[in-house]
């Protein structure tokens, strides 16, 4: 009888104070912190290759295939459009890809010509107007890649978050931006390959239009823009790779009036420069198109795409 009373009393005490029996199983703050940290690191390790190899190239591919027209108020003459399409590659063009520089005239004229050149082709518009520092250049590339998609603000936000996390872990921020640019450009190359693989025979190559490249080139010599130099060299060589080396896409670089490249384009057929150009076409309104077929010529021309003033 005494044993039964003791058992009954013990069960009642546990029922009245359940916390005493569960105290041993309640997680502590330290345990929860460690669990969240380990879980986050594990999820990042698993999610990073999935996003890098599959998700990001697929999203960039969708952006390449999205049709959108550049907002311009000028229409390009038919003769100029025909000349530019022959230079930068037309819909049924079977020649090797090349990099072209379009200079002179007004920005509206260059945009109108680039819009006509992109008609019927997968197009990537890379705008570097705000690329005055390594971070702003990295964000300009990300925003250009995902801008055609409806959820592009989400990718811009995620890019800022990830860059901030890396900044807290790595003190060399310029190196972080350069590394991330290499990663993004590699994802873009895979996206271009995906577009070409799914395209039917005799379909046009993708077209990459680069605008305001002179902005980061001009800012790399100013305070805060020191880390732009390796990023610009990487971007320049990537443009050579996808066009001249790999024949993945044609590249059209728009440069403003008053740039060194624009002035040099007027003398494209002089001396050694003539051997570096596939074609030089003078269009209406003072617009000049230069087709480049050698990587040495690309380095020379794009290296001068900075404003003189």
Summarised one tens digit per residue, pLDDT across range 234-243 is 999 999 999 9
Would you state the pLDDT for residue 309? 36
* Residue 150 · residue 167 · CB < 8 Å: no
Would you state the pLDDT for residue 284? 86
Any domain includes 94 = yes
Give yes or no for residue 176 having a pLDDT over 60.
Answer: yes
Q: Would you call 255 exposed, middle or buried from its count of C-beta atoms within 10 A (0-12, 13-18, 19+)?
A: buried
Pairing between β-strand 250-254 and β-strand 288-292 as defined by DSSP bridges? unpaired
Residue from 103, 141, 145 nearest 252 by CA: 103
- pLDDT tier at 262 (50, 70, 90 boundaries)? low
* Residue 102 · residue 302 · CB < 8 Å: no
Give yes or no for residue 189 having a pLDDT over 70.
Answer: yes
Of 10-24, 100-114, 191-205, 270-284, least confident by mean pLDDT is 10-24
Give yes or no for residue 33 having a pLDDT over 90.
Answer: no
Q: Give the C-alpha separation, 307 to 309, whole Å.
A: 6
Q: Give the C-alpha separation, 284 to 233, whole Å.
A: 32
Give yes or no for residue 285 having a pLDDT over 80.
Answer: yes
Averaged pLDDT for residues 154-177: 78
Averaged pLDDT for residues 175-198: 91
218 or 34, higher pLDDT: 218
Any domain includes 309 = no
Most confidently predicted of 52-66, 129-143, 271-285:
129-143
Starting at the edge strand found earlier in the chain, the sheet holding 123-127 runs 123-127, 207-211, 250-254, 99-103, 288-292, 277-282
Would you state the pLDDT for residue 269? 56
Averaged pLDDT for residues 95-109: 85
Any domain includes 307 = no
Any domain includes 13 = yes
Q: Which domain holds residue 273?
A: 2-302
Report how far apart, in Å, the C-alpha atoms of 265 and of each of 50, 69, 232, 236 are.
Answer: 44, 27, 21, 18
3-state secondary structure of 202: coil
- pLDDT tier at 220 (50, 70, 90 boundaries)? confident
Would you state the pLDDT for residue 32? 65
Give yes or no for residue 8 having a pLDDT over 60.
Answer: no
Question: DSSP string of 72-117?
Answer: -S-PPPHHHHHHHHHHH--TT--SPP-EEEEESS-HHHHHHHHHHH
Average pLDDT, the chain: 78
Distance of CA 223 to the CA centre of its chain: 24
Give yes or no for residue 80 having a pLDDT over 70.
Answer: yes
Give yes or no for residue 208 having a pLDDT over 90.
Answer: yes
Q: Name the token pair of 160.
A: 């800022």
Residue from 225, 51, 215 nearest 130 by CA: 215
Would you state the pLDDT for residue 185? 95
For the chain, give the percent of residues with pLDDT over 90: 20
Q: Give the C-alpha separation, 268 to 261, whole Å.
A: 10
Q: Give the C-alpha separation, 102 to 255, whole Å.
A: 6
∠ CA 143-146-149, nearest 5°, is: 130
Structural domain tally of the chain? 1
∠ CA 114-116-122, nearest 5°, is: 80
Give yes or no for residue 14 having a pLDDT over 50.
Answer: no
Instruction: Give the H/E segment covering residue 103.
Output: strand 99-103
- pTM across the whole model: 0.80
Would you state the pLDDT for residue 305? 67
257 or 35, higher pLDDT: 257
- Residues ≥6 apart with Cβ < 8 Å to 218: 306, 307
Any domain includes 308 = no
For residue 103, list its beta bridge partners. Answer: 288
Q: How many CA atoms lie within 13 A of 262 on its CB side?
A: 20
Q: Give the C-alpha separation, 265 to 251, whole Å.
A: 17
Q: Give the C-alpha separation, 99 to 254, whole Å.
A: 11
């Amino acid at each position: 009888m005494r044993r039964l009373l003791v058992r009954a009393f013990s069960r009642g005490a546990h029922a009245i104070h359940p916390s005493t029996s569960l105290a041993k199983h309640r997680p502590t703050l330290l345990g929860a912190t460690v669990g969240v940290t380990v879980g986050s690191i594990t999820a990042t390790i698993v999610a990073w290759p999935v996003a890098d190899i599959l998700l990001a190239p697929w999203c960039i591919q969708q952006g390449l295939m999205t049709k959108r027209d550049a907002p311009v108020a000028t229409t390009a003459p038919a003769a100029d459009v025909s000349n530019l399409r022959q230079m930068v590659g037309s819909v049924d063009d079977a020649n090797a890809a090349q990099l072209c520089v379009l200079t002179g005239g007004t920005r509206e004229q260059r945009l109108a010509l680039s819009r006509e050149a992109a008609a019927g082709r997968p197009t990537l518009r890379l705008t570097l107007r705000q690329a005055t520092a390594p971070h702003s250049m990295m964000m300009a590339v990300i925003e250009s890649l995902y801008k055609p998609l409806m959820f592009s603000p989400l990718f811009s936000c995620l890019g800022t978050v990830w860059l901030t996390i890396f900044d807290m872990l790595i003190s060399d921020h310029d190196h972080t931006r350069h590394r991330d640019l290499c990663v993004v450009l590699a994802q873009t190359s895979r996206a271009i390959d995906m577009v070409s693989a799914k395209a039917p025979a005799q379909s046009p190559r993708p077209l990459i239009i680069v605008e305001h490249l002179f902005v980061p080139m001009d800012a790399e010599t100013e305070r805060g823009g020191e880390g732009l130099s390796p990023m610009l060299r990487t971007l320049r060589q990537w443009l050579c790779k996808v066009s001249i080396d790999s024949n993945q896409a044609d590249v059209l670089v728009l440069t403003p009036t008053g740039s060194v490249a624009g002035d040099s384009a007027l003398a494209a057929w002089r001396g050694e420069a003539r051997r570096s150009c596939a074609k030089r076409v003078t269009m209406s309104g003072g617009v000049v198109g230069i087709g480049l077929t050698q990587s040495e010529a690309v380095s020379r021309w794009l290296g001068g795409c900075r404003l003189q003033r």
